[in-house]
Amino acid sequence: MVSNHQSHLDPVLVGLAIDRRMSYLARDSLFFFPLSWIIRSVGAVPLDREGGGLAGLKESLRRLKRQEMLLVFPEGTRSRDGEVADFKPGFCALARRSKITLLTVAIDGAYQAWPRTSRFPHFGTVHVHIGEPMSAAEIAAFPTDEELVAEVQRRVRQGHAAARKGLERATGGG
């Protein structure tokens, strides 16, 4: 699964929207956070972003080969403004090497519920939009990582727009 990243709530919100157990990639510095036991209990894979992340990528590939579900946030960090930022290509190697089906997910409202500038979450409405799956054959049809990133990012942004419309309907806006 590939998703935009709005807040610390995202792994839980996506997990609630899926009926399978999943783990997710998380930067290794979060594993030293006072609540690191929560991160470990949900099967998060630590990713050393400064050192290339090889150990985290190898563990991710092992889990994908066992047909476990893995959530990746290719923006690399939480949103600064609630919008979908540019994706990094790290997920491409995982998708191509494991020959998995890729599922795009878009979240809207989590930024308002827990922006990165706030210590604690607030009440709010959050929408999670799950896109159409991309088969291994569809993924392989993109000859370069740049093209695959562009397509996955397009799908997530399209889902984000759909989630935002749902949020506007739910709150009486737009």
The DSSP code for 72 is B
> pTM above 0.75?
yes
Give the whole-angstrom CA distance, residue 100 versus residue 126: 28
pLDDT of 149 reads: 98
Give the whole-angstrom CA distance, residue 108 versus residue 84: 10
Q: Which residue has better confidence, 132 or 36?
A: 132
Largest CA distance in the chain: 46
The 10s digit of each residue's pLDDT in 112-171 is: 999 999 999 999 999 999 999 999 999 999 999 999 999 999 999 999 999 999 865 655
> For the chain, what percentages of helix, strand and coil (3-state, to nearest 5) are there?
45, 15, 40
All structural domains of the chain, each given as residue ranges with its CATH number in brackets, are 2-171 (3.40.1130.10)
Q: Are 110 and 126 in contact (CB under 8 A)?
A: yes
